């Protein structure tokens, strides 16, 4: 093989090697960025979950100290438990949160409540208070248990 042709082949080989090295470097950067993005997402989700668990404990404490209406607490606790430990909603004593939620979830809240007829609101409040009274002891027991429940 003539010397000139050898040099062209070597030059082409070096260009291919350079292109492959650039491709490998770029792919490793992309993988590194993906790993970093995934780690940040996992950290965010863990912080969010920890915040929800802390909220559960605060609401449960508020129930224990009668600082919140039981119906409101049940709605909030049920919503949070659905995200962090949905299996608890099926087990005693925590299933009372699901039961109360199911009994009062048809009632309007927030803006919908403001635009609802006052007589309807009054009737629904009576129904809600009756549900709270019926399940008051179970709600308190579940709140106490929830505060001491380990949620992984």
Query: Range of 92's domain?
Result: 3-148
pTM to 2 decimals?
A: 0.74
| pLDDT per position as a tens digit, 52-96 | 999 999 999 999 999 999 999 999 999 999 999 999 999 999 999
Helix pair 70-84, 118-148: axis angle to 10 deg: 50
Q: pLDDT tens, position by position, for the chain (152 residues)?
A: 788 889 999 999 999 999 999 999 999 999 999 999 999 999 999 999 999 999 999 999 999 999 999 999 999 999 999 999 999 999 999 999 999 999 988 887 777 677 677 787 788 888 889 989 999 999 999 999 999 998 87
Which of 132, 62, 75, 136 is closest to 109 using CA atoms?
75
**Cα 53-109-145 angle, rounded to 5 deg:** 30
If one counts the domains in the chain, the total is 1
82 touches 55 (CB < 8 A): no
């Amino acid at each position: 093989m003539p010397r000139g042709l050898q040099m062209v082949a070597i030059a082409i080989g070096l260009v291919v090697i350079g292109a492959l090295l650039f491709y490998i470097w770029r792919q490793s950067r992309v993988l590194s960025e993906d790993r970093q993005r995934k780690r940040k997402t996992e950290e965010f989700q863990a912080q969010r979950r920890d915040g929800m668990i802390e909220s559960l404990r605060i609401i449960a404490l508020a129930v224990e100290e009668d600082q919140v209406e039981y119906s409101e607490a049940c709605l909030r606790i049920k919503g949070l438990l659905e995200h962090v430990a949905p299996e608890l909603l099926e087990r005693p004593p925590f299933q009372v949160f699901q039961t109360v939620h199911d009994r009062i979830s048809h009632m309007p809240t927030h803006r919908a409540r403001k635009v609802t007829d006052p007589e309807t609101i009054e009737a629904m409040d009576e129904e809600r208070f009756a549900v709270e009274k019926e399940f008051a002891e179970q709600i308190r027991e579940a709140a106490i248990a929830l505060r001491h429940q380990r949620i992984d």
